[in-house]
Amino acid sequence: MLNAVLSGKKRGTGLQNMQTTLEQAEGAEDALTASVFERLAYLPDNLFTNVFTELLGQSFGPLQSIEYWPSWFLKDGKRVEPDVLLQDAQHSLLVEAKRHDVVRQQNVFQLAQELESGWEQDALSDNCILLTLGGLKDYSEKGQDDLLKELLPLLPTGSAERFTLVCRSWQQLYQALEANLPPDSPPGCLRLLDDVASCYAWHRLRAHPMRWLNNLQPVELKTAPGAFTHWRIK
């Protein structure tokens, strides 16, 4: 949240209007994004690399730099403000985050403008990764392909070879983080995981998938003979 405040993103942090609930607060996704990514940036290099490589499905890390809400410009002078830009030694990782996991909030026109302005100002490498975080109803390979089909016609010819689109939910991000921070991790890393879990709870995001009764494994109960002989309902 520190970077949200420093970047003027006070809406949604509680600093703009203390009477505003989270559901009503504009800019709440900015506070969420900053709160999570600030902590991810503090991970040791090996853990950061493991988390993001698992999340993205391709190698990324160690982190060399991170920038929140960079200001880029299109040829017509319009300002574009993506959420986060991360760099490792080989790739640029552009993150466009939306607050909800199960609602279509990602806008292909916005995504196209962010890519174009980043390339225009040499802020994005030609092998960059575009990560949409949240804001979709379908995070399967098909859902990702469908979003890419919407996006490519809005970009200059040949753009398909210049970036990789990755669509992930906030839930998937938490699971990648949790999987790489087992109980024997350094205490500071476990505190970081607790912070992220608290942030998810604050923003009413699910950290784990739903568990349905019909998918639970039956449990066999073994009781000694006569265990309920004297039991009765009063």
Distance CA 148, CA 167 (A): 10
- Asked if residues 26 and 38 have their Cβ atoms less than 8 Å apart, the reply is no
pLDDT in tens, 66-112: 999 999 999 999 999 999 999 999 999 999 999 999 999 999 999 99
pLDDT higher than threshold 90 for residue 27 = no
Q: Cβ–Cβ contacts within 10 Å for residue 172, how many? A: 17
Q: Nearest CA to 82 among 131, 122, 38, 41?
A: 131
Q: What is the DSSP string of 34-52?
A: HHHHHHHTTS-HHHHHHHH
- Predicted confidence (pLDDT) at residue 227 exceeds the cutoff of 70: no
Give bridge partners of residue 168 from the DSSP assignment: 133
Average pLDDT, the chain: 87
Window from 14-23, 97-106, 163-172, 192-201 with minimum mean pLDDT: 14-23
Residue 2 has pLDDT above 70, yes or no: no
In the chain, what's the furthest Cα-to-Cα distance?
Answer: 84
Report the C-alpha gap between 124 and 15 in whole angstroms: 33
CA 66 to mean position of chain CA atoms: 15
Indicate whether 9 pLDDT > 90.
Answer: no
Tell me the pLDDT band of 210, cut-offs 50, 70 and 90: low
Residue-wise pLDDT tens digits, 177-205: 999 999 999 999 999 999 999 888 888 89
Check residue 78 and give its pLDDT. Answer: 93
Question: CA-to-CA distance for 78 and 113, rounded, in angstroms?
Answer: 9
Query: Are 203 and 93 within 8 A, CB to CB?
Result: no
In this predicted model, which residue has the larger pLDDT, 28 or 175?
175
Residue 27 backbone dihedrals phi, psi, to 5 degrees: 85, 10
Tell me whether strands 65-68 and 128-133 are parallel, antiparallel or unpaired.
unpaired
- pLDDT one-digit tens code per residue, 116-143: 999 999 999 999 999 999 999 999 999 9
| Residue 16, pLDDT score | 54
- CA of residue 119 relative to chain centroid, distance: 23
User: What was the pLDDT predicted at 31?
Assistant: 84
> What is the SS3 string spanning 50-62?
HHHHHHHCCCCCC
**pLDDT confidence of residue 5:** 55
Q: Which pTM does this prediction carry?
A: 0.82
CATH architecture of structural domain 27-208 = 3-Layer(aba) Sandwich (3.40)
Q: What is the pLDDT of residue 25?
A: 45
